[in-house]
Structure 1
């Protein structure tokens, strides 16, 4: 649709009175456009205003979107948004009082849609399991609009905007599968009652069977029966394995709780994790280390394939491991452990008040004193006379009981968070491994170190550490990106969805933030533009 400039400006800004028409002569087209843009609803006013201004000035300030094109794009936005775990109603332009304002509202909805797909609908705050607000990627809104105006399809642009990771694509498929389950009525809730164990005969077992059939853990041919037989044991173990539970084949409290999480809740959980994928850098590096904190697992990726995988121990609820986009370029062999002040204040000082010999029995030294002196072990210090703040710095020399074990991997700008070995190997056999003070303990630190140091060290590092007890820092073969990620839902190579407990509450905070971000921008803006003039 084309307009003569003078007529267009009258229509666009909704002038209806003589006084308003008189004011028009003193206001230039650029000012009118700026006023209309300023009155256009936006989730990110500064970036959206610039994108709109650049786009419309390149188009001579004229409307771009015909009614037919608008209807088609809105329908496409809704379809794509649904598939990507976004709210389709978010991208419906609000009512307008003029042709220009209608066009601006369409463009604003398109900007919001493209940005949400490309870099997420909310800021990647660490409280949501993101890497921090400054880690968010860039979205070129003006280019997005220009590509559309020049004939590119919205669906094609959307496909190029979303993350191209296989993990994201698989999770989208799981979202649709779970939605289909929810549309069909979901899965039944298992009634309260005592623990169910193999060999039981119980009125709840038919419900358990139906629940596991719907989620794909039990064959539909085995849907009937009151007996907790071998086939049902296998199905329960399968369910437990993909939910991070002890695969003991019994339905105890944690398994019961996970069975009764509704399909709708799983949909919200998947949507939250799709958002975290949208926060991710699009170039993670051919070689990188990825730690999934809720799963307590580490993968080393080499040229798109997992070269090494291991269990890890992550921070407990009181000392959460932060989500982080960092890197490592060196490791320390036989590292000493400098005790953080928080641990000295909250944990070691109370122990010393109960047992003055705790430093000696734990091989901890006060570094303000000579290492071999009695004072270094705390001799002669009245710990009950000390206030809440531990007044010394503590260090644990290298050795078999050192909290860092034989190896420590330094992480850049990590606020004393690092990956390390540990003398406590029992924790790796547990399904729940959120047990540390925030650092990441490694199940196979030597294997990781040899891989990071290069082929020259393969099969040699363990003996070298044992032979040379001194502390040494070694540079890695290359600087390696490291991602400490918070993913409570993902899909494995076999297409099986996995879920983990929201150990730090990041899902619980992200879901309402997403709901707030998904609210449509429906207010009419043309009259606001009129008032500004």
Structure 2
């Protein structure tokens, strides 16, 4: 008989304490707060289990090294120059020889061996081989190196003593070894510049290099051959030579200055538009020359690309500064950018492969290259500056259709765990259930391979790293339809995405590090046509039913960061330096701080630092229902 009064009192208290409509909506919104989840590595990344562990492999032998180097004859062994060289290299003073320690060790090993002989000096002084080597080293600046970095010997005018010749022999051998190291990309360790640059230059074994040089008939050509043979490297070298020769523009257009002023967008009418038109050498239009018309917009975009600015077409502060900078200083900035890009080419594998995938982070594009020709190009989304895409090469081994996805350790700890700790339960709790948090993102939780009821866990008192969270295949899966797996220590891969709206902007740096492909099925078709000989229809079968495909021949994937690219007309096209690596590389190779103008404009709304655009929200048929604490129990 007391049931009804007690229930009424309870309901009255509940209504009195229940939040109003505004609070109710806030609670509901909180329960569906979006997690910034995507397939990504993090600072706590777990390497792909199939990634090859790094090993300290011996340095590769230099090309042209004699297979069986001829032993030195007794007469040569008695050569006072060689005897003195050996004494000096065996002396404790050898430790003070400037240069890389491996080069010093290789130098000593070469002259101590049976094949060791004087390469550069004779009784009369320098040999013709020495003259050719030094002449080539003096041209180092033409190859993107610094001639001043190589200490070349000088002999006195009179007959040099054996001691002087021995010192010159050692010094020139060290200069040649240092030149070879720099030409191969070893003047600085890429990983010491940034953890993103996971490249290891291929430096030849120093002793084998001296053997090869000693046996070469054209030592100058041999030294030139140590530089990268990639076509883009040579194109950048030619652009470097041309840019270094640039001077102030001696044209009427070069004398036009653009004053400081407001941001001018296409279609606007402003007096500065006429000045920009004159500066770029465009004839006045038939109508008003102060109107920012389409022809001028395209010319401005082209100029922005040339100067490494975002090609927005807007006349902003950075564009005004670039238009006014017609002096040699502008050429100096471009030289530093070109040098930084040439250096990155030195770190690339010598053999990219006959068929490979090329992921350009600054361009935010992926390409498939077959026998030097691009057969497919697609937009990609790359890592944002706070969680950048690392730069490395690995072999693709698997293409997986309808993959499941496991939340990476860092994402579990920093993004998912705070929401689970903020979950609750019970009739009077305003916090969402842990199961609601996980269901909102299609996640399932297990521990030791066994399913777990998330609502039975006190997430504030457990270590989330002991739990696994997976997202099964489906339309909400962050990997979408297909995943391209190339095992690596960064656990980075390429994949589809349900967030199609991210491909619409000029800047697509929004991921946690993995690369999302705009048309992944087409990419899979091209790769599997090459590897398996499959027609597109065969690939579509996997699109429908899913499955993992093991590639018969691994396909190299090169994730690259080149901000200066020379086109077929010989013009340098600059790309946005979205991670700010150009200045870091330039500073490392210059040995001093280098400041470069950012390749993106901070005053543009499309700058890489902005948040990803919100995914489109469908309009609801009706307004959110008012808060009802019994709805979850009894339905409503």
* TMscore range, shorter length: 0.7 to 0.9
Q: Deviations over 1:274-328 (max 9, x none)?
A: 1111122212211111212222111111122112111111111121111112111
Q: Who is 1:106 aligned against?
A: 172
Q: Per-residue deviation at 1:129?
A: 7.5
Q: Deviations over 1:162-217 (max 9, x none)?
A: 1111111111122223222257799898654211234443348636854x57xxxx
Whichever structure has more helix as a proportion of its residues is 1
* SS of residue matched to 1:367: strand
Q: Deviations over 1:306-360 (max 9, x none)?
A: 1211111111112111111211111111011100121122122334437543321
1:490 and 2:559 are equivalent in the alignment:
no
Q: Per-residue deviation at 1:138?
A: 3.3
Q: Per-residue deviation at 1:71?
A: 5.4
Q: Who is 2:416 aligned against?
A: 348
CA gap of 1:36–1:7, structure 2 versus 1, over 3 A, is farther
Q: Per-residue deviation at 1:396?
A: 0.9
1:459 and 2:539 are equivalent in the alignment:
no
1:436 pairs, out of 489, 492, 511, with 511
- Paired with 2:334 and 2:310, the residues of 1 have a C-alpha distance of 20
Q: Deviations over 1:473-532 (max 9, x none)?
A: 111242111111122222233433222333223323222221239xxxxxxxxxxxxxxx
- Paired with 2:260 and 2:553, the residues of 1 have a C-alpha distance of 55
1:76 pairs, out of 131, 136, 139, with 136
- Structure ID, larger Rg: 2
CA gap of 1:508–1:338, structure 2 versus 1, over 3 A, is same
Q: Who is 1:527 aligned against?
A: none
Provide the aligned C-alpha RMSD in A.
Answer: 3.9
Q: Who is 1:89 aligned against?
A: 148
Structure 1, unaligned runs of 5 or more: 14-28, 518-533
CA gap of 1:387–1:366, structure 2 versus 1, over 3 A, is closer
Q: Who is 1:522 aligned against?
A: none
1:201 and 2:270 are equivalent in the alignment:
yes
TM-score (norm 2): 0.66
* SS of residue matched to 1:262: helix
CA gap of 1:428–1:257, structure 2 versus 1, over 3 A, is farther
- Farther off after superposition, 247-256 or 479-488: 247-256
- Paired with 2:484 and 2:347, the residues of 1 have a C-alpha distance of 25
Structure 2, unaligned runs of 5 or more: 1-74, 156-162, 423-430, 593-636
The equivalences for 1:71-470 within 5 A come to: 73-79=133-139, 81-93=140-152, 98-125=164-191, 127-128=193-194, 132=198, 135-146=200-211, 148-149=213-214, 152-181=217-246, 191-198=259-266, 199-203=268-272, 206=275, 210=279, 228-241=292-305, 247-252=311-316, 262-352=330-420, 353=422, 355-356=432-433, 357-368=436-447, 376=453, 378-379=454-455, 385-386=460-461, 392-454=467-529, 456-460=533-537, 463-468=540-545
Tell me if the contact between 1:130 and 1:486 (Cα under 8 Å) persists in the aligned partners: no
- Paired with 1:172 and 1:227, the residues of 2 have a C-alpha distance of 40
TM-score (norm 1): 0.78
- Paired with 2:117 and 2:310, the residues of 1 have a C-alpha distance of 65
CA gap of 1:332–1:182, structure 2 versus 1, over 3 A, is farther
- Paired with 1:388 and 1:240, the residues of 2 have a C-alpha distance of 50
* SS of residue matched to 1:98: helix
Give the number of aligned pairs: 484
